[in-house]
Amino acid sequence: MFELPEFPRWAVEVVFVAYAIAATGIVVLERRHPSATFAWVLALIFVPVFGLLAYWTIGRQPVRTHRRRRRRRQLNAGEAMRQMANLHNLPPELSGPQRGLVQLALRTAAAPLRRADRVDLVAAGASAWDSLSTDIRRAEHSIHLEFYTWRDDTSGRRMIDLLIERARSGVRVRVLYDHLGSLMTPARHFAPLVEAGGRVERFAPLRAPWLRRPRANFRNHRKIVALDWQVGYVGGLNIADEYLGTDARGSRWEDLFARIEGDAVLGLQGIFLEDWYEVTGETIEIPKEARPAWRHGDPPAYTLQESSGALVQIIPSGPDVTVASAIASQFTAAIACSHQRCWLATPYFIPDEPLKLTLRTAALRGVDVRILLPRQGDVRLVALASRTYHDSLLEAGCRIFEYPEMLHSKYLVVDDSLAAIGSANMDVRSFYLNYEVTAMFYDDKVNDQLATLFRSNLEHCEQVSREALSQRKPIQRISESVARVLSPLL
């Protein structure tokens, strides 16, 4: 019988010390956020088998590319606007802090400032399905859909049937979904759409090449609908029953889409085309009829000032963008500019140090800081880690409210004329790892709509108190503390 050779204890110890030094050196040289570095070092040293497997599959830093720069030059839309725009030509209704935020998004994400002729808030449920299906039926040229989760359920099948109908009528239908986020959805779900002439692609498929080029940790979490270059949606909804109908338990998640009409849709289209190019290598040219006036010689200031629609920047972020934390920078800067109120809603709340400090500082300055979270999220570990941040925020004067159902909305309301809606959660994963997109509106009407929604949600909430937190059982405190240590890896 074959027996494994016995190694002297000193040899095992030397090998382990060498492994610990090498693992620590590799992680430290990647220059991650300090908390993430510390968490990975602990995982690699104290649980070496699991830690090494997790690091190999989801932990390694991506190789940054210039893919988006190349794509922007080909589209010549966002990059051209970034080069032409300057603070002297921006609309006069922008305040000084807003001009700074516009400049920040231009420099970190090449996000041009555009007008939206119309902006509507669309809540999850039947109203979301009615709005989406109506606009999709009206599309005459192209239908571009990009989602993190697409389920093989009633809503998913209804959407496929609708897209089949549009594809057969000659509309160019393109669907992009994240493979990990839709892992349980079989390929046969999309097969009838492909047979009808539609195109369906997976972002970062999990297969053998992924082992050599690991990307499981860098997911496409964006939710984008772009129709005929004229109508677009951005927000937190996915294609699944809990968003577009009711799930098996007869309930739905609280979520939100911003429906946009006008020139601002070009920003959503541009992001979709970049992601499509990443997956397929296919370049899709912007139709002449969809190009804004400034492409033909009119300065961008003229286009912006002649329209009365809401000013908006479509801001992307992701691990291959020049500034991966573009959305995190925008949120932190916006909160830092607040004077009267800062209201935010998010399903997952694991703030990095800059965001936590900015929220505390805003509350200490006298700003009305309110944070809306679900009472019990769908990811238990994240919910536990989230609660460990409550004490310091409450101590500074922030107010935290818990929604009784699953709240999946992601939006921000600052003062009276600044608002943001998108796919990014207020956590380290969305800020530094995922591909995300957020629409930032410099408009009092959109701000008022979101503020009204926030107040409506608060009517069903329970406010978190410091007294209740102090009465938590020891086992709960320990569980939350362990989850917090792991939070940089979540």
DSSP 47: S
For residue 355 the two structure tokens come to 């965001």
What is the Cα 341 distance to its own chain's centre? 23
For residue 252 the two structure tokens come to 């739905």
Residues 6+ apart with CB under 8 A from 70: none
Q: From first to last of the 490 residues of the chain, give the pLDDT tens digit.
A: 455 566 676 666 666 667 667 766 666 666 566 666 666 666 677 666 666 666 655 555 554 444 444 444 444 444 444 444 445 578 888 999 999 999 999 999 989 999 999 999 999 999 999 999 999 999 999 999 999 999 999 999 999 999 999 999 999 999 999 999 999 999 999 999 999 999 999 998 876 544 445 556 678 999 999 999 899 999 999 999 999 987 666 677 999 999 999 989 999 999 999 999 989 999 887 766 555 544 444 444 435 555 579 999 999 998 767 677 899 999 999 999 999 999 999 999 999 899 999 999 999 999 999 999 998 888 888 888 889 999 999 999 999 999 999 999 999 999 999 999 999 999 988 998 899 999 999 999 999 999 999 999 999 999 999 888 888 888 888 888 777 777 665 5
Q: Could you identify the residue written with the tokens 């959503």?
A: 268
Inter-CA distances, 3 with 8, 11, 79, 165, Å: 16, 19, 64, 65
C-alpha to C-alpha distance for 367 and 376, rounded to whole angstroms: 27
C-alpha to C-alpha distance for 332 and 390, rounded to whole angstroms: 18
What is the Cα 279 distance to its own chain's centre? 19
Q: Are 342 and 369 in contact (CB under 8 A)?
A: yes
For residue 121 the two structure tokens come to 């808030």
User: What is the edge-to-edge ordering of all strands in the sheet holding 436-442?
Assistant: 113-116, 310-317, 436-442, 418-422, 411-414, 341-345, 368-374, 399-403, 462-463
* pTM of the predicted structure, to 2 decimals: 0.85
What is the Cα 264 distance to its own chain's centre? 18
Sorted by where each starts, the structural domains of the chain and their CATH numbers stand as 9-59 (no CATH), 67-98+113-312 (3.30.870.10), 326-489 (3.30.870.10)
Q: Which amino acid is at 223?
A: K
How many Cβ atoms sit within 10 Å of the Cβ of residue 291?
A: 15
**Bridge partners, 411 (sequence order):** 345, 421
Catalogue the active-site residues. Answer: 221, 223, 228, 408, 410, 415
Model pLDDT, residue 291: 53
Q: Which of 350, 83, 130, 150 is nearest to 259 (CA)?
A: 130
Model pLDDT, residue 30: 60
Q: Are 243 and 188 in contact (CB under 8 A)?
A: no
For residue 186 the two structure tokens come to 């079989």
Q: Could you identify the residue written with the tokens 């720069």?
A: 69
The length of the chain is 490
